[in-house]
Each structure stands twice: as structure tokens, then as C-alpha cells.
């Protein structure tokens, strides 16, 4: 099965070996400025690394905002980003850093509502409980899936944070307490020029203090998903979805 469908108003690529009902679902969301199918290529690589995932359905939602009018072709975003603020953040501006960690980005609430609806429709279609659904993504996609994993009525099977960062810290810190024990995979490049490595460490520590034990995978690289991360992610998923 390799189809394109709509869930929660989001265009989604759905991939699964065969037509049988899936035994689990993995939802992976792309990052800012990438096309909607940016992470679809991970599917074949993950199955090659962990063949036991063949009975799992993978869903790759496209973010709701098109960046075509800004000259970025088929690039999309979950919400718009203030790049001046990101630059100040990476330069160590403490005031900007505090604001970035506390204020919810404009547009995030709408993206959250759409993705939550997509997950609801997905569980209704497959008949699977949230305990059989893994949420995750890269960069901005990791931020939005982290957010909804903390807000869902029931915890997902696991959360995969690939080069994500800490947002709305007070909210996430409080909600993370109700997710104690949630299996979390978190990777980040030590020389990431876009999202600070120390912010990823702070997010890891937030979950640790709340009672989870993230599988922390730092790597000597930039804002990316290298093979060393992909291999460990495949094993993480296979272990959580036996």
C-alpha cells in the first residue's frame, strides 16, 4: 500500500507492506521548509534496517502551510518561523531565549488541532488504540508531535524527536509529569546551526525529571538524520512495536 489520502485536513502519504490491517502505526512529520513527502524515503530504509516493521503502517502528513508564495516552491511549514529570532537565539541572546521557550508560536495551535484530528481519524480508521501509535518527526515536525504527545488523552506507544527543541517549557514540563515512563527516542547534532544542542539537552532533562528515560542519541553532525541515528531509530521502533 502506497497511497495519498487526507486526514484531519492534512494531505498524508500512507505506506504499508500489503493490504492487511496494520498492527501498529508510525506518524512522522517533516520539518519547516521541506516538501510534504520529505521523510517518505525513510520508510524503505527503516524496513531494511528492521524487517519486523513490515506489519506497521507509516503515515507522513504534509504540514498545512505552503511556502510557495515566499519563493520556496513546494516547501511547507507547520507554522511560520521568525528567522531573526532564531539567529538571535543561536547568538546567545538570553531575552530571546527566554521568550522562545515560553511563548507558543503563532499558528502552532491551528497546526496542533489539525494533527490531533488526523491522529483521531487514523485511530478510528485502523481500530488501533493510542498504545499502538508512535508519533515523531524532524525539526519543526518533532516540535509539533512532542506537543500533541503531551496533550492527547492517552499516551502514544512512543515519541521520536529528531533534531527537535524545547517550546512552551512550563506547559510541557507540567504535562510531561502525566507521561512518566513514555518511551522517547531523541537525537540531535552537536554542531546543529539551526536548533541549539543545549536546548535539546534541556528538553531531554525535562523528560528525565518528569519520570521518562529518553534514549538520547547525540551525534557529531548538523541539522540532519544521519544513518547512525536511523539505525538506532529502527531498532527503537522494532522494540516498541513487537
Contact between 125 and 146 (Cβ < 8 Å): no
Give the pLDDT confidence score for residue 91 in this predicted structure: 64
Give the pLDDT confidence score for residue 84 in this predicted structure: 66
41, 44, 48, 52 alpha-carbon torsion, rounded to 10°: 120
Whether 88 shows a pLDDT value over 90: the answer reads: no
Task: Over range 84-101, report the average pLDDT.
Answer: 63
For the chain, which residues make up each domain, given as ranges? 2-240
Q: How far apart are CA 102 and CA 17, in angstroms?
A: 42
pTM of the model: 0.94
The CATH number fitting domain 2-240, selected from 3.10.20.30, 3.40.50.720, 3.30.420.40, 3.40.50.1820: 3.40.50.1820
pLDDT tens for 10-40 read: 999 999 998 889 999 999 999 999 999 999 9
Q: Which three cell numbers stand for residue 97?
A: 531565549
Q: Residue 71: how many CB atoms within 10 A of its CB?
A: 7
pLDDT tens for 196-213 read: 999 999 999 999 999 999
* Residues above pLDDT 90, as percent of the chain: 84
Q: How far apart are CA 235 and CA 239, in angstroms?
A: 6
Whether 94 shows a pLDDT value over 60: the answer reads: no
Give the pLDDT confidence score for residue 102 in this predicted structure: 74
Whether 185 shows a pLDDT value over 70: the answer reads: yes
Q: Which three cell numbers stand for residue 89?
A: 537565539
Q: Which three cell numbers stand for residue 235?
A: 531498532
According to DSSP, residue 182 is labeled -
Summary mean pLDDT of the chain: 93
Task: Over range 223-234, report the average pLDDT.
Answer: 98
**What is residue 105's three-state secondary structure?**
coil
pLDDT band at 93 (very low <50, low <70, confident <90, very high): low
pLDDT tens for 53-87 read: 999 999 999 999 999 988 778 999 999 987 666 66
Amino acid at each position: 500500500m502506497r497511497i495519498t489520502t487526507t486526514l484531519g485536513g492534512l494531505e498524508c502519504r500512507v505506506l504499508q507492506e500489503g493490504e492487511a490491517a496494520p498492527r501498529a502505526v508510525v506518524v512522522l512529520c517533516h520539518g519547516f521548509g521541506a516538501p510534504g513527502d520529505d521523510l517518505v524515503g525513510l520508510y524503505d530504509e527503516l524496513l531494511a534496517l528492521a524487517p519486523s516493521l513490515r506489519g506497521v503502517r507509516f503515515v507522513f502528513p504534509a504540514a498545512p502551510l505552503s511556502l510557495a508564495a515566499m519563493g520556496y516552491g513546494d516547501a511547507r511549514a507547520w507554522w511560520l518561523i521568525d528567522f531573526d529570532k532564531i539567529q538571535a537565539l543561536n547568538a546567545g541572546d538570553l531575552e530571546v531565549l527566554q521568550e522562545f521557550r515560553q511563548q507558543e508560536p503563532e499558528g502552532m495551535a491551528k497546526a496542533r488541532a489539525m494533527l490531533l484530528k488526523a491522529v483521531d481519524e487514523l485511530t478510528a480508521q485502523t481500530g488501533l488504540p493510542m498504545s499502538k501509535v508512535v508519533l515523531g518527526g524532524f525539526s519543526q515536525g518533532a516540535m509539533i508531535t512532542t506537543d500533541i504527545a503531551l496533550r492527547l488523552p492517552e499516551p502514544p506507544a512512543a515519541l521520536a524527536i529528531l533534531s527537535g527543541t524545547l517550546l512552551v517549557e512550563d506547559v510541557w514540563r507540567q504535562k510531561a509529569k502525566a507521561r512518566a515512563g513514555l518511551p522517547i527516542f531523541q537525537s540531535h547534532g552537536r554542531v546543529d546551526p539551526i536548533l541549539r544542542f543545549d536546548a535539546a539537552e534541556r528538553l531531554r532533562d525535562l523528560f528525565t525529571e518528569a519520570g521518562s528515560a529518553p534514549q538520547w542519541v547525540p551525534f557529531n553532525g548538523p541539522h540532519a538524520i544521519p544513518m547512525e541515528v536511523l539505525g538506532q531509530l529502527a531498532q527503537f521502533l522494532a522494540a516498541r512495536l513487537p
